[in-house]
Structure 1
């Protein structure tokens, strides 16, 4: 039986997904930072605004009203998650899992970058219907959501068979 080469290019192609997501997230946040004032709103579509905010907490601004310790907690959780998913991507052979984990890694690195360099996460995508607004998010959050959704859907479809 032939042993797969550890340095096989295809084995690490998932890194391209991570890099694309990371740079799309960082550049979009930089553009918002340079062209918008904090709390500025600009209507894009009838259900979507750009609304520039700083999130000092986690998802849905969880723990955002603390004294700053949460930055380190969320950074540590991000680092552990990123390292775990990188390990899984290196050792995993299932393409669907690798893609979903790559989306999560790219998003987690994007938000970790913000926490380390800005002390908060820059959010700017505001979806709403009439006066009901969903939590404001960014490209990193969206990629994490896509990765988790792929994992859940795959588990759901596999359990249905």
Structure 2
């Protein structure tokens, strides 16, 4: 009888994904730290025609969902984030070499989730500051972690439809 030992791609090339995760978390952390140290809350600085830096605090989830709930949402969203992070870690570890793009996308989602979780635990809110607008339409203000989650999801969805 032969014992079959599964070899996971993540375990072989873990350093690539860990580097991506650490890089995104670091950029997210220091960009938020810069915002806290250099802009007052609700202060806005114009960068380009369609881009402002606008310092806001998000006490809820995406699009300020649950932000007006009196504080319990901090714990709920933190626990929810931890569960999502553990699920994504499990998925990354189990993926095989042929799922390289999925591992990259999950790594980006994971980094963004960790970045926002750090804010939520440390400050009690998430620091948002990227304000995109076209004429009078403003997208909801976001941060680097949100970008990472968004692009990770785009890659994941694109790969799901291309297979």
TM-score past 0.5 threshold = yes
- Shorter chain as denominator, the TM-score bin is over 0.9
TM-score of the aligned structures, taking structure 2 as reference length: 0.91
What per-residue deviation string (whole Å, max 9, x for no partner) do you get for residues 42-91 of structure 1?
00010010000000000000010111111111111110111111111111
Q: Counterpart of 2:49?
A: 46
Could you tell me whether the CA contact under 8 Å between 2:8 and 2:93 is conserved in 1? no
Match of 2:153 among 143, 148, 157: 148
133-142 or 68-77: which moved more? 68-77
Match of 2:129 among 124, 128, 131: 124
Count the aligned residue pairs: 158
Compared CA separation, residues 154 and 112, structure 1 to 2 (3 A): same
Cα RMSD, aligned residues only: 1.8
List runs of 5+ in structure 1 lacking aligned partners: none
Cα deviation, residue 11, structure 1: 3.7
Distance 1:88 1:63 in 2: 28
TM-score of the aligned structures, taking structure 1 as reference length: 0.92
Match of 2:13 among 3, 10, 13: 10
What per-residue deviation string (whole Å, max 9, x for no partner) do you get for residues 136-160 of structure 1?
00000000000111111111222xx
Match of 1:80 among 83, 94, 103: 83
List runs of 5+ in structure 2 lacking aligned partners: none
Match of 2:92 among 84, 89, 92: 89
Could you tell me whether the CA contact under 8 Å between 1:12 and 1:90 is conserved in 2? no
What per-residue deviation string (whole Å, max 9, x for no partner) do you get for residues 100-135 of structure 1?
000000000000000000000000000001111000
Q: Counterpart of 2:162?
A: 157
